[in-house]
Structure 1
Amino acid sequence: MSKYDELFDEVTAEESLFREKGALDPLAEPDGIHARDAQEHELASLLAGVHEGYVPPTVSIYGPPGTGKTLSTRRVCREFASRTDAVAVEYVNLKECRTLFSAANEILFELTGEKRGAYVGLDGVFEEIWTALEGYPEWTILILDEIDHVQYDSNYEPSDFFYRLLRGEGKLKRGIDLSVWLVSNELLEVDLRLDSRVESAMSDESVFFPPYRPGELASILKPRLERAFREGAVSEAAFEYGVREAARRWGDARKALTLFRQAGETASERDLETVTRECIDVNLEATDREATVSKLHDLPANHFLVLTAVTGWDQGGKIKQPVTTAETLSMLESETYPDELDLGERAVQGVLTDLETMGLVETWIDSRGREGRVKQIETTFEPQWVRDTMVHYVEESTYLGTDTEE
Structure 2
Amino acid sequence: MESGKSIIKNRKVLHFSYLPELILHRNEELEKVTQSLSPILKQSRPSNLIVYGKPGTGKTLVIKKILDKIQQRVEKSKFPIKLIYSNAKDEATLYSLFVSIGRQLDLDEDQIPATGLSISEVFKRLLKAIEKNQYNIVFVIDEIDYLAHLISKTGKDVMYQLTRANERLKNGSLTLVGISNDLTFKERLDPRVISSLSEEEIIFTNYSVDQLKEILKERIKEAFAEGTVEDSALNLCAAMAGREHGDARRAIDLLRVAGEIAERAQASKVTEEHIRTASSKIEEDKETTALQSYPLHEKLLIVAVMKASGLSTGEIYSAYKTLCKQIRQKELTQRRVTQMLSEIEMSGIISGKIVHQGIHGRTKKFTLTISPETVKETFKSEATLEDII
Q: CA deviation at 1:112?
A: 1.5
Please list the CA deviations of residues 270-300 of structure 1 after superposition, one character each: whole Å capped at 9, or x if unmatched. Answer: 3432211111111211112344566778999
* Shift in alpha-carbon separation, 1:389–1:161, aligned structure 2, 3 A: farther
Deviation at 1:172, TM superposition (A): 1.0
TM-score scaled to structure 2, two decimals?
0.74
Q: Could you tell me which of 34, 46, 63 is aligned with 1:55?
A: 46
What is the CA-CA distance between 1:259 and the residue it aligns to? Answer: 1.8
| Corresponding position of 2:84 | 90
* 1:206 is the counterpart of 2:191: no
1:165 deviates by 1.3
Corresponding residue to 1:342 among 334, 355, 371: 334
Asked if the contact 1:78–1:89 (Cα under 8 Å) also holds between the matched residues in 2, the reply is no
Alpha-carbon distance in structure 2 between the residues aligned to 1:241 and 1:216? 13
Q: Gaps spanning 5+ residues in structure 1: where?
A: 1-10, 314-322, 368-372, 393-406
2: CA distance, partners of 1:229 / 1:150: 39
Alignment match of 1:25 (pick from 9, 15, 26): 15
Distance 1:383 1:216, change over 3 A: farther
Aligned ranges for residues 84-233 of structure 1 at < 5 Å?
88-115=82-109, 116-117=112-113, 118-134=115-131, 139-150=136-147, 157-167=154-164, 172-186=168-182, 188-189=184-185, 192-194=188-190, 196-203=191-198, 205-233=200-228
Amino acid at match of 1:181: V
The one-character-per-residue Cα deviations of 1:217-244 (angstroms, maximum 9, x if unpaired) are 2222212212222211111111111121
Query: How far apart, CA to CA, are the structure 1 residues paired with 2:292 and 2:205?
Result: 21
Give the C-alpha shift of residue 61 in structure 1.
Answer: 2.2
Name the amino acid aligned to 1:234. Answer: V
Q: What letter matches 1:35 in structure 2?
A: H
Provide the rounded CA distance (Å) in 1 between the counterparts of 2:28 and 2:277: 35
Q: Give the Å deviation of 1:100.
A: 1.9
Structure 1 residue 72 and structure 2 residue 62: aligned? yes
1:248 aligns with 2:243: yes
- 1:19–1:229 CA contact under 8 A, matched in 2: yes
Cα distance in 2 for residues equivalent to 1:214 and 1:81? 33
Shift in Å, 1:101? 1.8
Question: For residue 260 of structure 2, what is the amino acid of its counterpart?
Answer: E
Question: Structure 1 residues 121, 259: closer, same or farther in 2, change over 3 A?
Answer: same
How far the C-alpha of 1:114 sits from its partner, in A, is: 1.9
Extract unaligned runs of 5+ from structure 2: 325-329, 382-389
| Bigger relative CO (Cα 8 Å, ≥ 6 apart) | 1
1:330 alignment partner, one of 306, 315, 334? 315
Query: Shift of the alpha carbon at 1:355?
Result: 5.3
Counterpart secondary structure, 2:17:
coil
* Pairwise CA RMSD: 4.3
Conserved? CA contact 2:311–2:365, under 8 Å: yes
Contact conserved, 2:132 with 2:171, CA < 8 A, in 1?
no
CA shift at 1:69, angstroms? Answer: 1.8
Alignment length (residue pairs): 361
> Paired residue for 2:32?
42
Identity %: 24
Structure 2 partner of 1:15: 5
Q: Does 1:278 align with 2:273?
A: yes
Tell me if the contact between 2:213 and 2:238 (Cα under 8 Å) persists in the aligned partners.
yes
Deviations 1:301-337, CA, capped at 9 Å, x for gaps: 9999876544333xxxxxxxxx4343x5412233136
**Mapped partners of 2:38, 2:15: distance in 1:** 33
Write the distance in 2 (CA, Å) between the matches of 1:302 and 1:63: 32
2: CA distance, partners of 1:82 / 1:25? 24
Letter in 1 for 2:121: G
Question: Partner amino acid for 1:324?
Answer: G
Distance change (3 Å), C-alpha of 1:272 and 1:362? farther
TM-score, normalised to structure 1, is 0.71
Deviates more, 1:45-54 or 1:296-305: 296-305
Q: Matched residues in 1 for 2:34 and 2:253: separation?
A: 31
CA distance in 1, matches of 2:295, 2:28: 30
CA distance, structure 2, for counterparts of residue 105 and residue 253 of structure 1? 32
Change (3 A) 1:164 1:355: closer
3-state DSSP of counterpart to 2:125: helix
